[in-house]
Amino acid sequence: MDDELNLLRRSRMCWNTPLSETHAELLLDRMDLTGGHLVDLGCGWGKLLLQALGRARDLRGTGVDTDEGALARARAATLDRGLGSRVDWVEADAADWADPAERAFCIGAAHIFGSTKEALERLARVVPSGRLLYGDGFWAAPPGPAALEIFGPDLLTLPELLDAADAAGWRVLHVSTADQLEWDDFESTSRAAWEEWLAGHRDDPRAGEVREWLDRRLREYVRDYRGVLGFTYLVLGR
């Protein structure tokens, strides 16, 4: 799929994770944001980082991602909020980030480190003393063959994920999980912009590929992983 359509697909998405505004505010509360440096590894378009900066005037932020289109969206939102002097957007591989920070976000980006366990171990070096907001998928129910094929065999259960955090030297300060409405909204908004585009571009050469993706995504969600794949948000401390 070309870059234009890929950017369009995410345009109706508030978050690139199953999350509500209320839940996001709760997580920011638990992060105890004051001054210092907050780095968001795998930041996407940086909405949560910008909300954090809006809460704490003495906080500086850095968002790191390889997605040029998402970073352009982040920079535009930064200008709208008047936060340009307090945040940097860096196009780089977040797995290589080495500068320590007092606070960090890593949400839905464990794969860039290789696995959940490797991510938690690597992030302990990024935050030698402070707090980490870590978001990751887990098996909320035993997966069937189709879900295993989609998400791979390395996904943990929630107890296993907490054990991995403990093994990496983290203290678990907060645990919450995405509810069904957050999941349904995330999946629906991930399809919404392409559904709108398809309705007005049925003769476009790309329409067949878009329709196929939309149909497969909805089918997989409803049949294979709705209620099976969970997503947790952990506030971890060191």
Instruction: Kindly state the average pLDDT of the residues 131-153.
Output: 97
- Tell me what percent of the residues of the chain surpass a pLDDT of 70: 100
Q: Do the beta carbons of residue 18 and residue 231 sit within 8 Å? A: yes
| Bridge-based pairing state of the strands 87-91 and 36-41 | unpaired
73/10 Cα distance (integer angstroms): 10
pLDDT the model gives residue 184: 98
Alpha carbon separation from 137 to 24, 77, 211, 229 (Å, rounded): 17, 27, 27, 7
Query: pLDDT confidence of 205, banded at 50, 70, 90?
Result: very high
Q: How many CB atoms lie within 10 A of CB 36?
A: 13
For every residue of 88-156, DSSP letters joined together read EEEES-GGG-----SEEEEES-GGGGSSHHHHHHHHHHH-SSSEEEEEEEEESS---HHHHHHH-TTPP
Give the DSSP letter of residue 20. Answer: -
| 71-122: pLDDT as tens digits | 999 999 999 999 999 999 999 999 999 999 999 999 999 999 999 999 999 9
The HSE-up count of residue 42 (CA atoms within 13 Å, CB side) is 19
Closest CA to 194 of 182, 211, 208, 216: 211
Taking 80 as the threshold, does the pLDDT of residue 1 lie above it? Answer: no
| 38-58: pLDDT as tens digits | 999 999 999 999 999 999 999
Six-digit token pair at 91?
Answer: 């196009």
pLDDT the model gives residue 107: 98
Sequence ranges of the domains in the chain: 3-138+153-180+231-237
CATH architecture assignment, domain 3-138+153-180+231-237: 3-Layer(aba) Sandwich (3.40)
Closest CA to 69 of 8, 1, 13: 8
Six-digit token pair at 225?
Answer: 């992983």
- Whole-model pTM: value is 0.96
Query: Phi and psi at residue 63, in whole multiples of 5°?
Result: -110, 135
| 63-72: pLDDT as tens digits | 999 999 999 9
pLDDT the model gives residue 3: 78
Query: pLDDT confidence of 4, banded at 50, 70, 90?
Result: confident
Q: Do the beta carbons of residue 50 and residue 142 sit within 8 Å? A: no
Residues 6 or more apart whose CB falls under 8 angstroms from that of 89 comprise 43, 46, 62, 63, 65, 71, 74, 75, 78
- 8, with CB counted inside 10 A (0-12, 13-18, 19+), is middle
Query: pLDDT confidence of 182, banded at 50, 70, 90?
Result: very high
Query: pLDDT confidence of 152, banded at 50, 70, 90?
Result: very high
- Mean pLDDT of the chain, nearest integer: 96
Taking 80 as the threshold, does the pLDDT of residue 2 lie above it? Answer: no
pLDDT the model gives residue 140: 98
pLDDT the model gives residue 7: 85
